[in-house]
Amino acid sequence: MKPHPLILGALAGLAGLAAISTALAAEAPAKTDARVEVTFSSPDKFADVRDAYTSSDRGRDGILSQIRDYLVSRADTYVSPGQKLTVTFTDIDLAGDFEPWRGSEGMDIRIVKDIYPPKMDLEFKLTGADGAVLKEGKRQLRDLAFMAKLSINRNDMLRFEKALLDDWLKEDFPRAKSG
């Protein structure tokens, strides 16, 4: 019995994906040189990191990944070379909420109102190149006036949370003034 060409093509494609996956996994340790390390403590217990009314772990992990990537991308601006900022999120409540009483058609739409502000609780530690602790603490980030701020990217689902993180970074890690 001859193997079907479609099956052979699918197997070749899977082999290619496996090679790509292996290559990506090999690159993962390179991220340890980043200036920011972000972790999430018990994310399944966070107040609201849902992508839908009946959320999934995959949806939550996708949102947390975007938050992590954003914070890491901002590191060059606020953390000097040689320093390391370690951030552990202990709770997150995204701006807005789901209002299931709107019916089945609107149940999975996040409604953003003043009564649903973004909230983030975190612990952080900034260390120098020698490993000495330069600054550490706990923060409860809140912005009750989040709806009054102008946003460049109104299509970004996490724009309010990113603004909250930017405000925190500006407050705790002022940039060095360029001469």
Domain ranges of the chain: 1-31, 34-172
Residue 2: band (very low, low, confident or very high) from pLDDT cuts 50, 70, 90: low
Asked whether the predicted pLDDT for residue 20 surpasses 50, the reply is: no
Per-residue pLDDT, 8: 43
SS3 assignment for 92-161: EECCCEECHHHCCCCCCCEECCCCCCCEEEEEEEEECCCCCEEEEEEEEEECCCHHHCCCCCCCCCCHHH
Q: pLDDT tens for residues 29-42? A: 334 457 999 999 99
